[in-house]
Amino acid sequence: MSQYKLLESPIRINKMWLKNRIVFPPINECQSNENGAPTEAMCAYYAERAKGGASLLTVGSTTITPESRNHGAQGQMSDPKYVPPYSHLVDWIHRYGAKASIELNHFGAEASIRGSKPNPSSSNVCARDARYIQEMSLEDIKEMQAQYVQAVVWAKKAGFDAVTFHAAHGNIMPQFFSTLYNKRTDWYGGSLANRCRFAREIVEASRKAVGPNYPLIMRISGDEYITGGRTLEETVEVCRIMEKAGIDCFDVSGGLQATYMYSIMPGNLPGIDGFMMPSAKAIKEAVHVPVIGAGGIRTPERGEQLIADGYADMISYGRAQIVDPMFAKKAFSDNAEDIRPCLSCLYCFQRTGMDQFLACAVNPEAGREFMFRDVKPAEKKKKVLVVGAGPAGCTAAITLKKRGHEVELIDKNEYIGGSIYAAGIPQHKEPMHKLCGWYEKQLKDMGIPYALGKAYEPAMSENYDVVMDAVGASYARFIKGSSGEGVMTAIEALTHPEKVGEKVVVIGGGNTGCEVAEYFGAREINFTTHRMKNFEMEMEIEVEKDESEHNREVTIVEMMPSLCAEREGFSRRLLMKQLELNGVRQMLSTKVRQVLPGIVEVIDMKAGDLVELPYDTVILAGGMKPEGLEVAKGTEHVKIGDASFPSTIANATFSAYCAAAEI
Ligand SMILES: Cc1cc2nc3c(=O)[nH]c(=O)nc-3n(C[C@H](O)[C@H](O)[C@H](O)COP(=O)(O)OP(=O)(O)OC[C@H]3O[C@@H](n4cnc5c(N)ncnc54)[C@H](O)[C@@H]3O)c2cc1C
Ligand SMILES: Cc1cc2nc3c(=O)[nH]c(=O)nc-3n(C[C@H](O)[C@H](O)[C@H](O)COP(=O)(O)O)c2cc1C
Ligand code: SF4
């Protein structure tokens, strides 16, 4: 047994034994086909996580009717035709000794893909657009309850070891629980007992249909994190009622559609580690069945401690197992320091939000297990020099070495990580530094020679079959005067903050520019938020003093009409709030004309006015251009990451992996 004795110990949900306490929560991976059936890619994705040692995997939100969808590729259990393809998925999970559950759901009012009929709900209330909601009649209620029970029966028939009712995140069941949605005056509204009736009847009928031994799990939001929404106190009562109706385990999450930011927690949400654990604890103390605690847990140490402290019986590791499917195996073989860190960047969520299949910024294989199943050891061993130890170079070196090539890595910097080293300096970005450390450990453990502080010379390439060009991009100084004194790049500014003066002008309001502005902004204040005021997602915030030494007067200049539009929505919302609180001046639709000593001349593109911005330091945070290496004739030259196309970590790791897989 490993040092994580509690996490590694078996547990029983009804008659289902789980081999340990690490679960993989429902995560909509958008890998179903257009009809809602699982694909081979989806099977491979779950199989990999089962192989990694988790005891219970729950297939993400799967709808009980074809009309209720939030994604084009939303899985369905709305017809017996889904039994065979799901039984295939179950076999893949069972193959590696894990148990399989499926999260059954109806989005009710909050289905974002509109069908031919209005979305049904308890009442005519919705965070999106109430015009398209139809209050359910008693007949509608009976019909949907029957669909739910039918889906449970089909899931059992497909071989699922359990089902999970999705009663979290403001979907149909909580639309009945919550007075925020439920304005009914009949048997399904009013008192808490009445508001629980819809779900209770489904649970009771399901229990009858599947027998006493089949595990029924309920995923529930402890707190809806919205003014006027359901609070933890009331949820505890809901859980008591649901336990009596036949629920065998509660999987405690939080939030609803308008407050989904708190359900999936971007890295810059203050206090994400264990954010929802107080809810799990309160429910655990009130019921007699096991409780799963979810949200922001990233290490086995933390999970072990939470179980020891009575917060939960099992720990849900979501993104931690997207980025590293071998999480449980590594934890239980005392190799926890080998677990690949999650950045909590929500690129995975951003992808599914765009209706693309789930992928991960750091782990290029996540979601692409099927696509990369043919990546095998190389037929011919080659000598490869990787230049640049950023995410692209490190991913390439690791992949090449795994495939049997002889690899060496150099970087002119004294540290591993490339741009993500600087990116990890602002607050909430510490996981970037964890990733730098992880890369370094992999290089050492795999025996990949690497030299830091060593710049590339073209003559070096003569000794290699291949040069992987992972040197990143540099800031194009095409603005007149941008090579002058007092002008620094974002990386220089972050790594040498002592050189940054009082008045700062940041040129470029993308992700980097905004984070640099936040870092140097007038940070006398910081904030925490645990709740929204309304469906418009207006945050309730608590402002606190930040004793940080940074306290500059910062202006961002951006040509586009908005700041970092490419960034994932929830983390962007938080970043914008911090910029506002920091008093960072935002000049949008504004073009830099030239940088003069002490003055940046900008043009307001709407009004056409010329404005002079005094500065002590100008920070360049946009306009990257790739730098090419010169390589000897006869040596293969492969460009990856920002060196081929200045972009993001996701692009760097994906392009590096793809290239390394072909050598
Ligand atoms: C402040 C900041 C914040 C960012 N935040 C995010 C974010 O939140 N999310 C995101 O997705 N992306 C972010 N990015 C962008 C992201 O860091 C890059 O897209 C990514 O690091 C590119 O990886 P890469 O390996 O291609 O290049 P880099 O990470 O730039 O690495 C290139 C490496 O090559 C080395 N090198 C260059 N020339 C030579 C040479 N001649 N000899 C030897 N070595 C050389 C450099 O020293 C460097 O270590 C951020 C960037 C910055 C600057
Ligand atoms: C891409 C993505 C999709 C998700 N889809 C679902 C879902 O279908 N059903 C659900 O109950 N929760 C869903 N969640 C929430 C996760 O199950 C989990 O509770 C959340 O990510 C917080 O835990 P973590 O920090 O361990 O990832 C999703 C989260 C992400 C990032
Ligand atoms: S995309 Fe980002 S948040 Fe999602 S699993 Fe990967 S590193 Fe974590």
Q: Give the model's confidence band at 527: pLDDT under 50 very low, under 70 low, under 90 confident, else very high.
A: confident
Nearest CA to ligand 2 atom 25: 296
Tokens 């707190």 belong to 223
Residue-wise pLDDT for 83-132, tens only, equals 999 999 999 999 999 999 999 999 999 888 877 788 999 998 887 777 78
What per-residue confidence (pLDDT) applies to 627?
80
pLDDT at 525: 75
For the chain, helix (H) and strand (E) counts, in that order, are 20, 29
Closest CA to 158 of 93, 97, 203, 212: 93
Average pLDDT in the 521-525 region?
A: 74
CA–CA separation, 480 vs 592, rounded Å? 9
Q: Residue 340: pLDDT band by 50, 70, 90 thresholds?
A: very high
Which residues neighbour 563 within 8 Å (Cβ) at sequence distance 6 or greater?
A: 509, 510, 513, 514, 556, 576, 579, 586, 588
* pLDDT reported for residue 31: 95
Q: In which order are the strands placed within the sheet that holds 610-614? A: 590-596, 599-604, 610-614
pLDDT tier for residue 317 given thresholds of 50, 70 and 90: very high
578-634: pLDDT as tens digits: 999 888 999 999 999 999 999 999 999 999 999 999 999 999 998 889 988 999 999
Q: What mean pLDDT is reported for the chain?
A: 95
pLDDT at 218: 98
- Assess whether the C-beta atom of 292 lies below 6 angstroms from ligand 2: no
Q: How far is the CA of 601 from the centre of ligand 3 (A)?
A: 39
Q: What is the atom index within ligand 2 of the atom nearest the CA of 316? A: 26
Is the pLDDT score of 648 beyond 80?
yes
CA distance 181 to 168: 14
- Using a 6 Å cutoff on CB, does residue 295 contact ligand 2? yes
Q: Which helix (H) or strand (E) holds 612?
A: strand 610-614
The answer to whether the CB of 420 is under 6 A from ligand 3 is: no
On the question of pLDDT at 546 being above 70, the answer is: no
Q: How far apart are CA 359 and CA 456, in angstroms?
A: 32
Beta strands at 249-253 and 216-221: parallel, antiparallel or unpaired: parallel
């390394």: which residue's tokens? 660
**Residue with CA at minimum distance from ligand 3 atom 5:** 319
Q: Which ligand sits closest to the CA of 364? A: 3
Mean pLDDT of 126-149: 91
What's phi and psi for 585, nearest 5 deg?
Answer: -80, 130
Give the number of whichever ligand sits closest to the CA of residue 408.
Answer: 1
Question: How far is the C-alpha of 405 from the C-alpha of 279, rounded, in Å?
Answer: 50
pLDDT at 550: 67
548-591 residue pLDDT tens: 666 799 999 999 999 999 999 999 999 999 999 888 999 999 99
Q: Residue 561, Cβ neighbours under 10 Å: how many?
A: 11
What is the structure's pLDDT at 320? 98
Residue 447 scores a pLDDT above 80: yes
User: Which whole-number Å values give the CA distances from 623 to 255, 477, 657, in the listed order?
Assistant: 38, 8, 25
Mutational pocket test of ligand 2: of 27, 70, 252, the residue with most ligand atoms within 8 Å of the beta carbon: 27
Domains of the chain: 5-353 (3.20.20.70), 383-474+625-662 (3.40.50.720), 477-622 (3.50.50.60)
Report d(CA 168, CA 545) in Å as an integer. 34
Provide the b/e sequence for 90-108 (b: ≥16 CB within 10 Å): bebbeebebbbbbbbbbbb
Which is more confident, 116 or 135?
135
Kindly compute the dihedral angle of the four CA atoms of residues 232, 233, 237, 243, in this order, to the nearest 10 degrees.
40
Please indicate whether residue 572, judged by its CB atom, sits closer than 6 Å to ligand 3: no
Position 549 scores a pLDDT of 62
**Reduced to 3 states, what is the DSSP secondary structure of residue 467?**
strand
Percent of the chain at pLDDT > 70 equals 99
Q: Residue 137: phi, psi to the nearest 5?
A: -80, 170
Strands 473-475, 624-626: parallel, antiparallel or unpaired by DSSP? antiparallel
Strand-pairing partners, residue 640, are none
Query: What band does 547 get if pLDDT is binned at 50, 70 and 90?
Result: low
Instruction: Inform me whether the pLDDT recorded for 168 exceeds 90.
Output: yes
- Strand (E) or helix (H) holding 188: none
**Strand-pair partners of 555:** 505, 585
Token pair for 384: 């490869």
Q: How confident is the model at residue 271, as a pLDDT?
A: 87
- As beta bridge partners, residue 167 has 220
Determine the Cα–Cα distance for residues 541 and 532; give it in Å rounded to an integer.
9
Q: Which residues, other chains included, contact 318 with Cβ-Cβ below 8 Å and sequence gap of 6+?
A: 24, 25, 27, 294
Tens digits of residue pLDDT in 245-300: 999 999 999 999 999 999 999 999 988 999 999 999 999 999 999 999 999 999 99
Supply φ then ψ for residue 373, to 5 degrees. Answer: -65, -20
Average pLDDT over residues 299-318: 98
Judged by DSSP in three states, 197 sits in: helix
Six-digit token pair at 506?
């940041």
CA 499 → CA 487, 616, 617, distances in Å?
A: 10, 10, 8
Region 36-53: mean pLDDT is 98
Q: Give the residue, by CA position, lying nearest to ligand 2 atom 5.
A: 27
List the residue whose alpha carbon is closest to atom 2 of ligand 3.
345
- Is the per-residue pLDDT at 302 higher than 70? yes
Going by pLDDT thresholds of 50, 70 and 90, the confidence category of residue 56 is very high
pLDDT score recorded for residue 55: 98
Of residues 61 and 478, more confidently modeled: 61
Q: Yes or no: say if 293 and 314 are a contact pair by the CB < 8 Å rule.
A: yes
- pLDDT confidence tier of residue 635, bands split at 50, 70 and 90: very high
User: Which stretches within 374-429 are classed as H helix?
Assistant: 391-402, 419-423
For 199, the 3-state DSSP assignment is helix
602 phi/psi in degrees, rounded to 5:
-125, 155
